[in-house]
Structure 1
Amino acid sequence: MANVTLGGTPVETIGNLPAVGSKAPDFKLTDTDLSDQSYSNFEGSRLVLNIFPSVDTGTCAQSIRTFNEKVSQLDNTKVLCISKDLPFAMARFCGAEGIENVVSLSDYKTGKFGKDYGLTFTTGAFETLLSRCIVVIDTDGTVLHTEQVSEIADEPNYEAAIKSLA
């Protein structure tokens, strides 16, 4: 289990992120149109999984904006923004912000993604939500980079994620 902080208060997650060099676990998440999306829908693309507690917080919203801008310039790369928000909230945010270069997905139905990737909070005010993490996956499913942000209010290291795709 990973130890991170929320406003300086220690909180725990259910496990640890997949190891760099390992195969990314499969997933089934819900798209904004309520369709199911699994890893196989994105096979052959490089993926940046931008994982966060809720689109309705400033840092989470900023991470979507930043990845929307930065990764849109990279070939064969998709950004999957993943939270437990309802798909309607993700669609509303992206529509209002004019965000078109990311795929918004939700783990609200089963929570299995958060468990399989080891990043669901098990303690604290955000218990059962997803921790702020970045997982970068190559075209063959190999994990290239991971980051579990140590303080939930902080933004991830965008440059490290993008550098791992070089």
Structure 2
Amino acid sequence: MPKHVTFKQETVTLLGEEQKAGNKAPDFTVIANDLSEKTLADYDGKVKLISVVPSVDTGVCAEQTRRFNEEAANLDNTVVLTISMDLPFAQARWCGANGIENVETLSDHRLADFGKNYGVLIEELRLLSRSIFVVDENNEITYVEYVPEVTNHPNYDAVLEHLKTK
């Protein structure tokens, strides 16, 4: 049965497998800003903080990406990935305009592969649902947050505290 969350207080359906801490992280193929393909293997040996947003061009998503960009400098052996359905060109433009240098933005627009594999693809909107995943150096998921109302912020303090224990 698909998982449900709300988007502007309307129930929406999340497609794909819901992930939990302790699961082996599913592989995925997304597109980098230079149009190259990226997979989970590209980040082997690092902790991955995966920040999932509907669109970097919206207020909460922009704040979420800025917050993790600021925090990234304090995270050892950790790469911060922001994944959305935005086109790579829009992500690159937004990052340049906002001085984002410590977060790698990745697009799931072509295949929705990440969205399906992590259970965050909103069926009704073909956007990704706001969520946070921490994947350790061995590609095990150690932290998961599916934000119940997509327009709300994730629990920044909880994920950052979790990362301090890694």
Please, what TM-score do these two structures have when normalized by structure 2?
Answer: 0.94
Q: Does 1:149 align with 2:147?
A: yes
Deviation at 1:122, TM superposition (A): 1.4
The one-letter code matched in structure 2 to 1:18 is Q
Give the equivalent residue in structure 2 for 1:103.
104
Q: Does the 8 Å contact 1:16/1:118 carry over to 2? A: yes
Deviation at 1:162, TM superposition (A): 1.5
The one-letter code matched in structure 2 to 1:50 is S
Q: Does the 8 Å contact 1:71/1:79 carry over to 2? A: yes
1: CA distance, partners of 2:56 / 2:19: 23
Deviation at 1:17, TM superposition (A): 2.9
Structure with greater proportional strand content: 2
Matches within 5 A, 1:58-137: 58-123=59-124, 127-137=125-135
Q: How many residues align?
A: 163
Matches within 5 A, 1:10-89: 10-89=11-90
The one-letter code matched in structure 2 to 1:135 is F
Runs (4 or more) in structure 1 with deviation over 3 Å come to none
SS of equivalent to 2:127: coil
Q: Identity of aligned pairs, percent?
A: 44
Q: Does the 8 Å contact 2:17/2:117 carry over to 1? A: no
RMSD of Structure 2 on Structure 1 (CA): 1.0
2: CA distance, partners of 1:145 / 1:26: 16
- Tell me which moved more, 46-55 or 1-10: 1-10
What residue ranges of structure 2 are gaps of 5+ in the alignment?
A: none
- 1:77-132 CA distance string (max 9 Å, x none): 11100001000111011101111000110011111111111110113xxx211100
Q: 1:140 aligns with which of 138, 141, 148?
A: 138
2: CA distance, partners of 1:47 / 1:145: 10
- 1:44-63 CA distance string (max 9 Å, x none): 00011100111111011111
Q: Does 1:163 align with 2:164?
A: no
What residue ranges of structure 1 are gaps of 5+ in the alignment?
A: none
Deviation at 1:16, TM superposition (A): 4.5
Q: Does the 8 Å contact 1:17/1:146 carry over to 2? A: no
2: CA distance, partners of 1:92 / 1:82: 15
Please, what TM-score do these two structures have when normalized by structure 1?
Answer: 0.94
